[in-house]
Structure 1
Amino acid sequence: MFSTLDVDIRPGSGLGRFEIGASLWTVLDMLRSLTHIFPSVEVKYDPDTSSTTPVVLHLRPHLDLLFSGKHQRLHTICLRKLRDPFPPVTLRYKDTVLSSAEGPFTRVVARRAFGPTYPGDELRYPGLWFSFEEDGRGDGGRGVEDKTQEVKRVLVSQKGNDGKSQDALEEVGEVPVMEGDVKQAVVKVHDGVALYFYGAAGASAKPVHIRLGETTAQDLTVDLGPPLRVHYKEDERMSIHATDSVPETDNGYFYNYFQHGLDFLISGPSHVVTKIILHSNVPGSPLFQRYKRCNWEIEGKPEDDEDDTPPRKRFYDRFETISHFLSPREPPPSMHLDRTDEEEDITLPSTTSRLYGYDGIILEVSEASQVLSVTLF
């Protein structure tokens, strides 16, 4: 016996548990705790453009969730197969049941609930539209104006994105569900990172500056809240590559902010930040979904004193472009990294990456030349 999938429509805002503008990381994290409702989740993306590909979560058999390519925000929700009884679906709008096992969702039911709209093969309202075709297939040749014609798909998107064509490459405008998330992380080598947040007082809001060698663990807690995890540094294998005569053995610890896509290594004796790691959350990579995507930008030096728009390279730029930006010479020698060495039964397009070290910054790069993470030290 299957439990009923009971969802409500919120035009331009969401459907059931899902809110337009929610991050891919947040939604997948939520689905981990809902396996009794959504036992099967399929992640679909284009491996050739993994840094900027839109991502689709297919929750069999009823839901498809489309996330935007760059910011990984929920862009469009599609509810389909309303008559599939495994599990049965109850669809509501305010106090009205639109569709259930007791009766189908038809054109006339939609019009009664949402009112008149422009004529066409589909019923379109701001932030909402109803299709009478299933996956592009016709529904048996019924006339477009047949009142008993069954709705086969329900789509919810942000208001203003519901024109004749749905552009999956558009980003979602700022909505309340984003409040408190990192909007932009501006990286400055040898200095640190400036974090800008959604929901702050517009463009005039001051960023939170995390500076190497200055910001303390207490500062992080005040500015970002407590970390989701504190991890004590035990792996000293990289110390063999240190240029110092004394290996790095100060019993440092990490503050892990998975919800922001950030890690901070904090010195044991001084409790100040010594390293900052920013994660790109690239689909298909070993760390995908462990961290939310951090929208980082590496800022270069201004051309002159009057230059208020210094050049920047972003997480979706290819490694070759970022490498030349950091150093016009040939890329430095790289080190091989396989994050699945201690894992079993993991199937990924590629489990290996390369570490490239520059003055004050390390790039972790996939075989497809996508930068998976940035480390400042």
Structure 2
Amino acid sequence: MLTLEVVPERSLGCEQWEFILGMHFSQAVAIIQGQIGIIKGVQVLYNDTKPLEIDMVINLPQDGIRLFFDPVTQRLKIILIFNMKLIKLKYCGLTFNSPELLPSIEQIEHSFGATHPGEYDSEKQVFTLNFRGLSFYFPVESKYQKGSTHNLASLQFPPGSSPVVSRMAIYSGSSVDQATSPELPLSCYHGQLYLQKAEVLRGDGYTKGLCLKIMAGTNNRLIDSTKLQFERKVLLGQSVQDVVSALGAPSKVFYKSEDKMRIHAPNAHRRVTTNRSDYFFNYFTLGFDVLFDARSHLAKKFVLHTNYPGHYNFNMYMRCEFELPLDSATVTAYSDWSDVCKKLTPSERPVVLNRASSTNTTNPFGSTLCYGYQDIIFEVMPNHYIASLSMYGDGRPIKNQQLRQA
């Protein structure tokens, strides 16, 4: 049984780890992965067809915890304890919920102090006691209501039958119904860069590069903790040194072992006689990759990821908040492909992409479709949302606008 500390309007955790309001979905998953054998029975819940309207949920049924993430920002907004019997809880180091100590109204008031009068919902038969950033829910049968007002004074219980908390919610703000995910806390930066916005720089029918608005944080005991915002540009045709100078070292370097899309290139029949491999710089917290040519070591492709649940690469990258001005349309990470096609005319015959790993030859999420437009490839999911955006070239106008894969 987990023993966790409750911090109203902030977190639920212990000395080793914390679920912190505002943390990204991937960071919560990393915590759970690091607690294998301690946290068990994990479920991820999301909506395939409406990924931007319904919260993503991490459900821990054996520990009585549910984590609700905003579907747009993908940051934690509500921590719900839905089964108080499966967990031990502390506040300021003192236990207020355990198998030996039931969280009655008197116990909650003793542990957390005075608050505003609670509210009684006669339809749901639930009495709610609210603190700032923290709510306790008590199931109360209607037979205990003695008046018309909906507060604690309107409820009368026999001696020794005070209701016990059935659920508890931690959130940011004054009401759980209006809870929103806060900004990424400084404690979750971990020395990484995070993307605020990416603007695609375009020429006349070709891509120049990216203008990135980046956030960084310092959380050091020796200096004042603060958030920094700055702007960087990375361009197609830039060298490895230029990109690293602008963005720092990548999260990972990946060497291409094979290119299954090569068959669609104009020169696919040519034999490759070199052992050199093109390589990606993966910037997971910025949500994109940079592909470098093996010979020239110049950037020849950017891949921007939208991190929608139900995609093969979900949870590998944080969402790239891009904005792409394209002729009569502006495409973003939230654009519906059907709406984009009303303003643009992409390639009529898409390429079917069905990823599979070496250990798992089947893709449980199904294939995606890749459409070409000028020097851009749109990877589209079955729900019509854009999974990734690939832009290739050397930053100069392309004479032949025919769809090709770099």
Fold match by TM threshold 0.5: yes
Q: Does residue 6 of the first structure (1) align with residue 3 of the second (2)?
A: yes
AA in 1 matched with 2:213: Y
- Offset of residue 294 of structure 1: 2.0
State whether structure 2 residue 208 is matched by structure 1 residue 198: no
User: 1:371 — aligned with what?
Assistant: 386
Provide the C-alpha distance between the structure 2 equivalents of 1:338 and 1:140, rounded to a whole number of angstroms. Answer: 56
Distance 1:141 1:175, change over 3 A: farther
Summarize the Cα distance change of 1:103–1:361 in structure 2 as closer, same or farther, 3 Å threshold. same
Aligned length: 350
CA contact (8 A) 1:186 1:193 kept: yes
**Cα shift at 1:240:** 3.0
Q: How does 1:158-307 map to 2 (within 5 A)?
A: 158-160=172-174, 162=175, 165-166=177-178, 170-173=180-183, 175-177=185-187, 179=189, 180-189=193-202, 190-199=207-216, 205-214=229-238, 216-243=239-266, 251-300=277-326
**What pairs up with 1:290-329 in 2 under 5 angstroms?**
290-300=316-326, 312-325=330-343, 328-329=344-345
Question: How large is the RMSD of aligned CA atoms in angstroms?
Answer: 3.0
Moved more, 102-111 or 232-241: 232-241
Secondary structure of 1:260's match?
coil
Give 3-state SS (helix, strand or coil) of 1:83's partner. Answer: helix
> Post-superposition shift, 1:97?
1.4
Scaled by the length of structure 2, what TM-score is found?
0.77
Secondary structure, counterpart of 2:84 in structure 1? coil
Match of 2:133 in 1: 127
Residues 14-60 of structure 1, C-alpha deviations (whole Å, 9 max, x = no match): 11120001111121122122121222111111111135542011011
Which of the numbers 343, 348, 355 marks the counterpart of 1:339?
A: 355
For 1:40-59, list aligned pairs within 5 A. Answer: 40-59=41-60
Distance in 2 between residues matched to 1:322 and 1:58, nearest whole Å: 35
**Kept after mapping to 2: 8 A contact 1:213/1:272:** yes
Gaps of 5+ in 1: 304-310
Q: Give the equivalent residue in structure 2 for 1:90.
A: 88
Task: Give the secondary structure class of the aligned counterpart of 2:49.
Answer: helix
Partner of 1:48, secondary structure, is coil
* Conserved? CA contact 1:129–1:156, under 8 Å: yes
Contact 1:127 1:156 survives alignment (8 Å): yes
- In structure 2, the CA distance between the partners of 1:300 and 1:99, relative to structure 1 (3 Å rule), is same
Q: State the one-letter code of the partner of 2:51.
A: S
The separation in 1 between residues aligned to 2:338 and 2:69, in whole angstroms, is 27
Displacement of 1:279: 1.1
Distance 2:361 2:260 in 1: 25
Larger relative CO (CA 8 A, sep 6+): 1 or 2? 1
Which residue of the partner structure matches residue 72 of structure 2?
70
What is the TM-score when the length of structure 1 is the normalising length? 0.82
Please give the per-residue CA displacement for 1:48-83, whole angstroms capped at 9, x wherever unaligned: 113554201101131000000111000100012112
Q: Tell me if 1:355 matches 2:398.
A: no
Q: Which residue of 1 aligns with 2:81?
A: 79
Letter in 1 for 2:35: L
Q: Which structure has the larger Rg over C-alpha atoms?
A: 2
